[in-house]
């Protein structure tokens, strides 16, 4: 069995390639948060407390659009529902850990760490294999906090004319690059996008994110069911 | 609600979605069907951020004429599909957007 530290280190090494896109994402978040009116301490607190890129950007987007708190919180919850899947998948590897470790590991259960540690946990049966997930998550934590900080500092120096808010849809577009290759995903993307765009003015309380997401998931449900019968 | 309360609630809900499955629920509670549906969550929710940010202008109006964001996003999408690179997608989109507003 490898030492805890070695497994932790392996997690750091494995997650490193996935950290490259986190850098511009964190910078953009820092810059935009200041731009929509959060102060530097609140911005830093968002990255420390929430520690989730998509959640934080959705927060900014809806906040700047004047959405109510309830809508912002439920939209953040909807964006996060993918974590339920991650948790369910890794839980079997963590079932005999003490509660305190489960509490710590949950904080680090982010997209990138899940992506690499899921593979490692499946192949490895050592009792300390969860240190891999902690290593990946901690690496991302350091990058996310430092790039947020840099974004806050740079924010003041970046002219508004650059239209950096356009980086938000681009960042989410980038997160979907693999889904554009799958037929059902493309349909789901189009349905959700159309519902959000045309519902933007008509759906009350800026709840268009939630309504569009539900429409997308419903579409996925119908299409995958048909797929199986065929 | 103050900004701080909002941040705390958003942090709490984010944390709970990560923690709940690890701590409370056994893996068997999710069958393959639920997992399959959950795997579509990114495709279902990210477009709800992407599309309005491209097509709706600052005044909250639908804008399709004279909107450089549309072409820039299409270029970024194709670069993304072919390169599979997150960075290439973001930067090709920004570069096209700047080219369209400052040069063309």
For the segment A30-83, what is each residue's pLDDT rounded down to a tens digit?
Answer: 999 998 899 999 999 999 999 998 899 989 989 988 889 999 999 999 888 878
Q: Give the separation between CA A89 and CA A122, rounded to whole angstroms.
A: 10
List chain A residues with CB under 8 Å of B19: 87, 102-103, 106
Shared domain for B35 and B75, answered yes or no, is no
Model pLDDT for residues B46-55, shown as the tens digit of each residue: 899 899 999 9
Total domain count, chain B: 2
Shared domain for B26 and B51, answered yes or no, is no
Buried/exposed code over B48-79 (b: 16+ C-beta within 10 A; e: otherwise): bbbbbbbbbeeeeeeeeeebbbeebbebbbeb
Shared domain for B8 and B33, answered yes or no, is yes
Shared domain for B52 and B102, answered yes or no, is yes
Shared domain for B8 and B49, answered yes or no, is no
Residue closest to A158 by CA, chosen among A14, A10, A27, A52: A27
The number of helices, as runs of H, and strands, as runs of E, in chain A is 12, 0
* DSSP summary character for residue B62: B
CB B22 within 8 A of CB A141: no
Statement: residue A229 has pLDDT above 70: no
Shared domain for B20 and B69, answered yes or no, is no
Residue B15 lies in domain: 1-39
Q: Is A33 on the interface with B (CB under 8 A)?
A: no
Shared domain for B62 and B29, answered yes or no, is no
Structure-block tokens of residue A79: 């964006």
A62, closest residue in chain B (CA to CA): B49
CB contact under 8 A, B17 and A81: yes
List chain B residues with CB under 8 Å of A173: 46, 50, 73, 76-77, 80, 89, 93
Segments in A81-130 forming alpha helices (H)? 82-94, 99-107, 111-123
CB contact under 8 A, B86 and A174: yes
| For chain A, domain boundaries | 4-167, 176-230
CB contact under 8 A, B41 and A82: yes
- What pLDDT is recorded for position B33? 85
Q: Which of residues 59-78 of B touch A (CB under 8 A)?
A: 60, 62, 69, 72-73, 76-77
Structure-block tokens of residue A100: 């305190």
Q: Is B35 on the interface with A (CB under 8 A)?
A: yes
Q: Give the separation between CA B63 and CA B61, rounded to whole angstroms.
A: 6
Model pLDDT for residues A170-219, shown as the tens digit of each residue: 888 988 888 999 999 999 999 999 999 999 888 877 788 889 999 999 99
Shared domain for B54 and B35, answered yes or no, is no
CB contact under 8 A, A50 and B11: yes
User: What ipTM does the predicted assembly reach?
Assistant: 0.88
Shared domain for B27 and B71, answered yes or no, is no
- State the first-to-last Cα distance of chain B, in angstroms, to the nearest integer: 44
CB contact under 8 A, B8 and A79: no
Statement: residue A138 has pLDDT above 90: yes
Shared domain for B48 and B33, answered yes or no, is no
Statement: residue A230 has pLDDT above 60: no
Shared domain for B6 and B32, answered yes or no, is yes
Q: Which of residues 42-61 of A touch B (CB under 8 A)?
A: 42, 45-46, 49-52, 54-59, 61
Shared domain for B24 and B54, answered yes or no, is no
């Amino acid at each position: 069995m490898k030492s805890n530290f070695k497994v932790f280190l392996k997690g750091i090494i494995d997650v490193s390639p996935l950290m490259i896109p986190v850098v511009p994402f964190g910078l953009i978040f820092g810059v935009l948060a200041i731009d929509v009116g959060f102060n530097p301490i609140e911005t830093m607190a968002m990255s420390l407390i929430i520690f989730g890129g998509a959640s934080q950007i959705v927060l900014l987007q809806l906040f700047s659009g004047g959405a109510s708190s309830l809508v912002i919180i439920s939209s953040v919850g909807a964006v996060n529902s993918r974590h339920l899947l991650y948790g369910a998948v890794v839980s079997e590897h963590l079932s005999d850990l003490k509660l305190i470790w489960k509490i710590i590991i949950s904080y680090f259960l982010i997209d990138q760490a899940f992506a690499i540690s899921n593979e490692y946990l499946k192949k490895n049966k050592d009792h300390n294999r969860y240190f891999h997930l902690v290593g990946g998550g901690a690496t991302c934590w350091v990058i996310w906090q430092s790039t947020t900080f840099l974004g806050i500092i740079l924010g003041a120096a970046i002219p508004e004319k650059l239209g950096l808010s356009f980086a938000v849809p681009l960042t989410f577009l980038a997160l979907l690059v693999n889904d554009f290759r799958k037929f059902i995903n493309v349909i789901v993307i189009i349905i959700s996008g159309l519902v959000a765009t045309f519902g933007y003015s008509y759906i009350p309380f800026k709840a268009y994110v939630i309504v569009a997401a539900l429409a997308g998931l419903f579409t996925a449900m119908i299409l995958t069911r048909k797929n199986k019968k065929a | 609600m103050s900004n701080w309360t909002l941040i705390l609630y958003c942090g709490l809900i984010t944390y709970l979605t990560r923690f709940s499955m690890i701590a409370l629920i056994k893996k068997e509670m999710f069958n393959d069907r639920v997992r399959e549906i959950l795997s579509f969550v990114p495709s279902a929710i990210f477009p709800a951020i992407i599309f309005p940010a491209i097509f709706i202008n600052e005044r909250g109006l639908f804008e399709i004429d004279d909107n450089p964001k549309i072409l820039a996003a299409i270029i970024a999408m194709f670069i993304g599909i072919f390169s599979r690179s997150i960075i290439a997608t973001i930067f090709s989109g920004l570069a096209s957007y700047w080219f369209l507003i400052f040069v063309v």
